[in-house]
Structure 1
Amino acid sequence: MLARLAVAAGYPVLIASSRPPAAIELTIDVLAHGAEATTASDAAGRADIVILALPLGKAVLLDGRDALPVDELRGKIVIDAMNYWWEVDGVRPDLTGDDVTTSEIVAALLPDSRVVKAFNHMGYHDLDEGPRPAGDPDRKAIALSGDDVEANDVVADLIDLLGFDPVDLGPLAEGAVLQPGRALFGANLSAAEIRDVVEQAAA
């Protein structure tokens, strides 16, 4: 869905999975026509902005191995769109603590990348139906959080170009409100409504 929105906005889009590029080409052609199938390392190396949208348990391995192309992601803006689902990821106490967000865990795996949390709280149906031009009174918002202010601004611009109002929540730790079970998870709201929810959650 994100690839389709990005293609529609005029971005060149690369898509990678755990399977060889040839195995996903038909799916991409049908669901995100105009995007290019490639490998994870190639996509990470060529892209200016990388979106991680895979099962969190496959990105954060229990044995400490690097599941992500860490070297290719150095210096890159990496958008963490992942959520922890025990049904998919298994029971992982390391991903459920209240002392650190899952995005902070991802950032620790990618210390030389510029990690921003975004695109995880809205369902794909709402993403599909939601894009509106700037200023449209029915435009919905996407919240984001990150420790790198300039990276946050770049992601905010991307959100705007995809047809949503960006709402910057501040540092990566503030993205806790976006996680499953928290106040903004599943939110399909306007920017003003998101700010109201965040204010109430902090009260």
Structure 2
Amino acid sequence: MSGPLAVIGSGMIGSAVARLAVAAGMDVVVSNSRGPGTLAGLVAELGPRARAATPAEAARAADLVVAAIPLHVYGRLPAEALAGRTVLDTANYYPERDGRLAELETGELTSSALAQRHLAGSRVVKAFNTITPHQLGTLARPAGAPDRSALPIAGDDAASAEAAGLLDRLGFDAVRVGPLAESWRIEPGTPAYIRPYLGDIPALDVADFLAWTYRTPGLAVPAEQVRRLVAAAVRQAAGEARLPSAS
């Protein structure tokens, strides 16, 4: 990709993606629901390649957009401004945070398919949802590095190719899971979700878990291992026991 990357959401995952993009020499437009003025600190940290905008402005500024927001606010994504764009959806479904969503509880849709229904004019790809924010930074490696990790993605072929190109530039191989209908294979509770990148995880509450991840460098997970983990996934009832959210 030659143009800028837009990031909607300035939380831990969105900020981590923005840092990797700037480190890779990309221009980045960051945004959140609170307005550009609240992003001054992040933009100052990122440097001259970054600028702040509203979500709609960010969407119009780039062909590739990372939506790093909690699932329960997916309806706030600016659908009109995102039309024609490829949107990388990082959200995971946590009923205790997002509320019980009937389409997900019954398995009628995956969480990213729910986002795709809202973003009817966009191409949605599930990405960046299986790794915690700190490990997204610590595990990034140049192409060809022997300890390079892979991340799974799900979406149609053309959009997935764009997402894979971004992941490669940011420091990860991409493993294509299939279309959005198959993105359940990388949702919370599945073998490829979070644990492979962290190893043994102590029993902690959400706050302590996230603090612990920032003291843990993480484990390299090569593409072949990700493929095996994805293939081993078994669809389970929504809302079963899961790790805390990484978003």
With the length of structure 2 as denominator, give the TM-score of the two structures.
0.74
- The CA deviation string for residues 17-38 of structure 1, in whole angstroms up to 9 with x for no partner, is 11121122113323x3342111
Alignment of 1:98-177 (within 5 A): 98-147=107-156, 149-177=157-185
> Partners in 2 of 1:139 and 1:27 — Cα distance?
27
Q: Indicate the percent of aligned positions where both proteins have the same amino acid.
A: 40
Q: C-alpha displacement at 1:92, in angstroms?
A: 3.5
Encode CA deviations 1:55-110: one digit per residue, 9 max, x unaligned: 110114xxxxxx22111111100000111223432344444332321001100111
Report the alpha carbon displacement of residue 154 of structure 1 after superposing the two structures with TM: 1.0
Q: Secondary structure at the match of 1:19?
A: coil
The question of 1:196 aligning with 2:205 is answered: no
What secondary structure does 2:158 align onto? Answer: helix
Corresponding residue of 2:190: 182
Amino acid at match of 2:228: D
Moved over 4 A (4+): none
Residue of 16, 23, 43 corresponding to 2:38: 23
Q: Gapped runs of 5+ residues in structure 1? A: 61-66
Return the match for 1:82 from 81, 91, 104.
91
Give secondary structure in 2 for the equivalent of 1:71.
helix
Amino acid paired to 1:53: A
1:58 aligns with 2:73: yes
- Equivalent residue pairs, number: 194
Write the distance in 2 (CA, Å) between the matches of 1:128 and 1:97. 35
**In the alignment, residue 231 of structure 2 is paired with which amino acid?**
E
Partner of residue 210, structure 2: none
Tell me the SS of whatever aligns to 2:79: coil
Deviation at residue 184 of structure 1 after TM alignment: 1.5
2:56 to 24, 27, 41: 41
RMSD (Å), alpha carbons: 1.6
| Kept in 1: contact 2:103–2:109 (CA 8 A) | no
2:82 aligns to what SS in structure 1? coil
